[in-house]
Amino acid sequence: MRIFPRSAFGQTVFLVGALLLINQIVSYISVTFYVVKPTIEQVNLMLAKQVKTVFIGVEDGVEVSADISQKFYEATGVEVLSEYDAMQQGLEFASEYPMLSRIMTEQLGGQSHVRISQSDTLVYWVEPPQMPGYWVRVPLMGFKETNLEFLSFYLACIGVLSVLGGWLFATHLNRPLKELQQAAMKVAVGDFSSQVKEQGSTEVIEVTKAFNQMSRGIAALEEDRRLLMAGVSHDLRTPLTRIRLATEMMAENEDYLRDGIIADIEDMNAIIDQFIEYLRHHKLADLQSEDLNALVAEVISSGQQHHRTITSDLNDSIANVPLSHVAIKRVITNMIENALRYSDGDIHVVTGIEKNKKYAFVAVQDKGPGIPENELERVFQPFTQGDLARGSEGSGLGLAIIKRIVDMHQGKVTLRNLPEGGLEAKVSFLFKH
């Protein structure tokens, strides 16, 4: 079990609490040895002198006369009792204190015993060496053990207030870092609209300034890249259109050549479309609750033009999945097109809810050669294609586009080779019950 927390907030509160605990322990030890103990010793010394006063002129073993004892009691409140009488007045409920007994023994010059009892008044019991079997009863007015309860309450309040202060301090210190984290998560999915407020300590302010500057730089870079791609796309499509028109006017005996040129032009247009799609950002504000099954059925219906068998197993309980209709349609289309391109058998599409019931998923399964295990993560990188066994067509942006869109939805995309052969591509989205 991990005791030391990972977060800066938890670490701050933990350190404040630990320092407070050490301070309380040191304070308790210091008060005990430098305040309480000397006070008790001083009180014990004064009581020893009172006991000596009782037995002035009394020889060891000789009982103090009742008259002297009564007068001393009337004057000081200290009385000498036989053990039987002492038991009747509370000696049997008193606790013995060895340390006080040792001090009293030194002061009275013989073996003594000290006990303390608490009723309405704190009572000090001393068995002097001058009269073994007799007890001197000394009531101490103004001393109560309940005072310790107030001390405990005071220390507990100080502890709670200190931890609360540490918690408030840590909250104030970490609030800018939390905002910085949320802004960084937005930047990670292509949202550069938010600027973090520059507040907090000097170091946090400097980090925030650097982050805002970085965010603006990335936004400018993304805009330049989109403009560049739009310009390249426009400049390429214009000559491609002219070439397409020229091929349409070719002689009939050159149909084989015309068909090849037209196919190449369509491939180039498809590649340009993939470049533009990869650079496009779908904003989270565009997300709406959609029926994932209806979207899958729509894509499957449009995919029948390939004259291949596409079966489906759809979970009827999936609804209210927050997603961008156009973007996720593009994802499912890419998944099915990849399965059609790299396999010859039937395609099977499955929808469902994961075991943790937090995600709804769409899985496309084919019966192709699959992808080597060591390349399952690498194929998500732009311009990367799988094993040669799956062919080398396309631009290598299909899976990169899928991952980019799914990440924007805060979802997951995984690939796995099926035990019976073939590949399963699976995308998961947060699901609202």
CATH of the domain at 312: 3.30.565.10
Question: Residue 221 domain-assigned?
Answer: no
Q: Indicate whether 89 pLDDT > 90.
A: no
Partnered with residue 415 across adjacent β-strands are 425
Q: How high is the pLDDT of residue 349?
A: 93
130, 145, 160 - which closes a domain: 145
Residue bearing tokens 């600027």: 195
* Of 284 and 111, more confident: 111
pLDDT tens per residue, range 318-353:
777 888 887 888 888 888 888 888 888 889 999 998
Q: Indicate whether 283 pLDDT > 60.
A: no
Residue bearing tokens 């491939």: 267
pLDDT tens per residue, range 196-212:
888 877 777 888 888 88
Q: What is the pTM of this model?
A: 0.47
Percent of the residues in the chain that have a pLDDT greater than 70, as a whole number = 79
CB burial of 215-234 (b: ≥16 within 10 Å; e: otherwise) equals beeeeeeeeeeeeebeeebe
85, 119, 145 - which closes a domain: 145
Spatial CA neighbour of 250 closest among 258, 242, 241: 258
From residue 74, give the alpha-carbon distance in Å to each of 68, 82, 274. Answer: 10, 18, 109
Give the neighbor-by-neighbor strand order of the sheet with 423-430.
Answer: 310-313, 347-353, 359-365, 423-430, 412-417
95, 129, 145 - which closes a domain: 145
Domain count, the chain: 2
Question: Residue 408 domain-assigned?
Answer: yes
Question: Residue 280 domain-assigned?
Answer: no
From residue 41, give the alpha-carbon distance in Å to each of 47, 102, 264, 272. Answer: 10, 11, 104, 94
From residue 350, give the alpha-carbon distance in Å to each of 155, 258, 321. Answer: 63, 40, 16
Question: Residue 387 domain-assigned?
Answer: yes
Full residue range of the structural domain in which residue 402 is found: 285-430
Res. 389 pLDDT band, cuts 50 70 90? very low
DSSP state, 355?
T
Q: How high is the pLDDT of residue 84?
A: 84
Q: How high is the pLDDT of residue 391?
A: 44
